[in-house]
Structure 1
Amino acid sequence: MSSNTKTNTLSSSSSSSSLSHEQKSNGVFGDVYAILKDVDILPNAFRFQLPHQAQDFLDKREVREFMSGALAGAMTKAILAPLETIRTRMVVGVGSRNIAGSFVQVVEQQGWQGLWAGNMINMIRIVPTQAIEFGTFEWTKRGMASLQEKWEQNESPKLQIGCINLSLSLSWISPTAVAGAAAGIASTLACHPLEVLKDRLTISPEIYPNLGAAIRNIYKDGGIGAFYAGLSPTLVGMLPYSTCYYFMYDTIKKSYCLTKNKKSLNRPEMLIIGALSGFTASTISFPLEVARKRLMVGALQGKCPPNMAAALSEVIREEGLKGLYRGWGASCLKVMPSSGITWMFYEAWKDILVVQKGISL
């Protein structure tokens, strides 16, 4: 090969490398499909062009918010799976009654991999759950804010009862609270069967050794309805939790930025505010979480309460009022870092996929 040929080859390679680096830096990581589509050093066999419809779909704000939620949830669960395992065991009353004892017990009985029991289904569960939850939250919040604005611009309708005139204003409704409730309900309805599978794999790996066996055994024992065991208390418990969780995060975030005269939070601040939001929401709704878990796994012990009220009564009768908060410490140990890390990852991915891409509302 001649010297000129070598020089041209090196120049071409350097130019392609520079182009690739520039494309990546434009969007921090860039879009994977855009990088693969435009980099010249890829062989012809690996080049592809997305249809315009697909590219337009991927450029929608809602789709990118769904993607941000999915990525944030997956990354968080991969890190915090051991805490989820210990929390679930303590909430349903399996094994040791303290965090350290439960940790040691799992390792002794199942090895270190036991701390990640059910994590595969947990990962499968969390990706659509977080995608639906964050996507629904953002979409509903924008929709509610737009509705309130249009309602006020057109002047609120007035209701007259005798000599009393009432203005039917929507300004007292918090778009964040409504969006939080909608997010929790939507994600629960869509992904509840995966939650049931995850809990069964975590609590009884000897009965449900893998996902396929869990699906067969649960269907054999109770049909399709068994996959929705505990749905009612889950929805009831999700309303205060999800509403409070999103409302607290959004309120604290805005108040903090206003106090510090900042436009946005840095990553550590997101972590702390997210953790506080999760702690508050979990504390308020924890008794309903205990009832929900009792209903979901009660069949394993041959005594499944008929409804949420019966589950709560059973806990109080057996353990007193403090039984409603059994496992609360382990729950906070899991919920606080989970909430903080999830919000931190979500805001980071949203910055990459939405904000820095200039995706419009």
Structure 2
Amino acid sequence: MAKTREAGEFLSGALAGAMTKAILAPLETIRTRMVVGVGSKTIHGSFVQIIEKQGWQGLWAGNAINMLRIVPTQAIELATFEHVKRVMTTAQEKWNQSESPKLQVGQLSLSFSLSWLSPVAVGGAAAGIVSTLVCHPLEVLKDRLTVSHEIYPNLSIAVHKMYKDGGVGAFYSGIKPTLMGMLPYSTCYYFMYETLKKSYCVTKKKESLTRVEMLLIGAFSGLTASTISYPLEVARKRLMVGALLGKCPPNISAALAEVVREEGMMGLYRGWGASCLKVMPSSGITWMFYEAWKDVLLAERRKSKTQISTQG
């Protein structure tokens, strides 16, 4: 059992992420190829092409690095979200109990308050930013292994070649659009999940969700957040692997303009269907596993606190 709440949440996130990615790796492979414009433009066509060229193993291309990526990413993301949400909630409660600080400028008096900030939204934004900054190099490596298996047949070769060609900066290719895309996605994703979960429990007059309810609410939250931020995801992928295709846009605006020029406005949502097929089950399954692991890992801690409270 986890000794601290933070440790339990961190480990729960890692286990949930690993289990989810192992199940959904084929959809991730197809989605990545479609987003960056490699091979067929349809889900079925991409599936057939991968099987013909690489066999069934091709559907799990880059999955080793994907697992190495998702374990720390999901652990850091979920643990950061939970921690920042608690800190913000506590800060708001303390702030509301005391008189809000004021700034006097002449006859104008400005009162500062944290009540307008949503702890869930702030936690979601922080979760996306922190996990991205820490784990972005692994995301770049995963995409290189997925999209260009011939050039980067394994992890060690990919690391050596990328460092030789572009130094440390190569591992942070596309970091700016990644952060720009992650901020609205992560904020919306966590806000939607927590809000829907709370509203549903209040409406149904229950204290917690069933596993199926977590799955469905998590899936819907992922779909909504992904749809809002998807054009930035397309631009991000273009920047990250553009060098492999012989054309790398200089910035996110250029990448978006290039997509619109070549494929029209609908190009900004190319691969959206495949993304939804990946994001929805991924989001739902992740929350289901995460909440389940938290129940297991934090059960002993909750039991101990209850006994101490009873004794007191």
What TM-score do the two structures reach when normalised by structure 1? 0.82
1:82 is aligned to 26
Pick the aligned partner of 1:212 from 156, 166, 172: 156
Q: Supply the distance in 2 between the matched residues of 1:212 and 1:168 (Cα, whole angstroms).
A: 52
Displacement, 1:160?
A: 4.6
2:130 is aligned to 186
Q: Supply the distance in 2 between the matched residues of 1:189 and 1:157 (Cα, whole angstroms).
A: 33
**Partner amino acid, structure 2, of 1:244:** C
Cα shift readout 1:162-189 (whole Å, capped 9, x = no counterpart):
6554432211100000000000000000
Secondary structure of residue in 2 paired with 1:223: helix
**Partner amino acid, structure 2, of 1:91:** V
Pick the aligned partner of 2:45 from 101, 104, 108: 101
- Counting only pairs closer than 5 Å after superposition, residues 289-328 of structure 1 correspond to structure 2 as 289-328=233-272
Q: Supply the distance in 2 between the matched residues of 1:64 and 1:233 (Cα, whole angstroms).
A: 32
1:282 is aligned to 226
Q: Supply the distance in 2 between the matched residues of 1:166 and 1:250 (Cα, whole angstroms).
A: 32
2:287 is aligned to 343
Q: Does residue 1:231 correspond to 2:179, yes or no? A: no
Of structures 1 and 2, the one scoring higher in RCO (CA 8 A, sep 6+) is 2
- Counting only pairs closer than 5 Å after superposition, residues 139-178 of structure 1 correspond to structure 2 as 139-160=83-104, 165-178=109-122
Asked whether the 8 Å contact 2:24–2:278 carries over to 1, the reply is yes
Asked whether the 8 Å contact 2:4–2:301 carries over to 1, the reply is no
Pick the aligned partner of 1:269 from 203, 213, 219: 213
Q: Aligned residues: percent identity?
A: 76
Cα shift readout 1:311-358 (whole Å, capped 9, x = no counterpart):
111111111111000000100010000000000000000111114531
**Partner amino acid, structure 2, of 1:248:** M
RMSD across aligned positions (CA): 1.2
Displacement, 1:221?
A: 1.2
Cα shift readout 1:134-171 (whole Å, capped 9, x = no counterpart):
01001100000011111111121234556554432211
Q: Supply the distance in 2 between the matched residues of 1:166 and 1:221 (Cα, whole angstroms).
A: 53
Cα shift readout 1:190-223 (whole Å, capped 9, x = no counterpart):
0000000000000011110000011011111111
Asked whether the 8 Å contact 2:61–2:146 carries over to 1, the reply is yes
Secondary structure of residue in 1 paired with 2:150: coil
**Partner amino acid, structure 2, of 1:152:** N
Q: Supply the distance in 1 between the matched residues of 2:18 and 2:157 (Cα, whole angstroms).
A: 24
Q: Supply the distance in 2 between the matched residues of 1:252 and 1:164 (Cα, whole angstroms).
A: 40
What TM-score do the two structures reach when normalised by structure 2? 0.95
Aligned residues: 304
Q: Supply the distance in 1 between the matched residues of 2:64 and 2:224 (Cα, whole angstroms).
A: 28
Cα shift readout 1:226-254 (whole Å, capped 9, x = no counterpart):
00000000001100000000000000000
Q: Supply the distance in 1 between the matched residues of 2:197 and 2:226 (Cα, whole angstroms).
A: 19
- Counting only pairs closer than 5 Å after superposition, residues 198-209 of structure 1 correspond to structure 2 as 198-209=142-153
1:352 is aligned to 296
Q: Supply the distance in 1 between the matched residues of 2:106 and 2:166 (Cα, whole angstroms).
A: 57
2:10 is aligned to 66
Secondary structure of residue in 2 paired with 1:95: coil
Structure 2 gaps of 5+ residues are 306-312
Pick the aligned partner of 2:190 from 246, 268, 284: 246
Q: Supply the distance in 2 between the matched residues of 1:169 and 1:222 (Cα, whole angstroms).
A: 46
Pick the aligned partner of 1:130 from 66, 69, 74: 74
Q: Supply the distance in 1 between the matched residues of 2:269 and 2:117 (Cα, whole angstroms).
A: 31
**Partner amino acid, structure 1, of 2:52:** E
Asked whether the 8 Å contact 2:77–2:127 carries over to 1, the reply is yes
Name the larger-Rg structure. Answer: 1
Secondary structure of residue in 2 paired with 1:357: helix
Q: Supply the distance in 1 between the matched residues of 2:123 and 2:57 (Cα, whole angstroms).
A: 37
Displacement, 1:310?
A: 0.8
**Partner amino acid, structure 2, of 1:224:** V
1:45 is aligned to none
2:308 is aligned to none
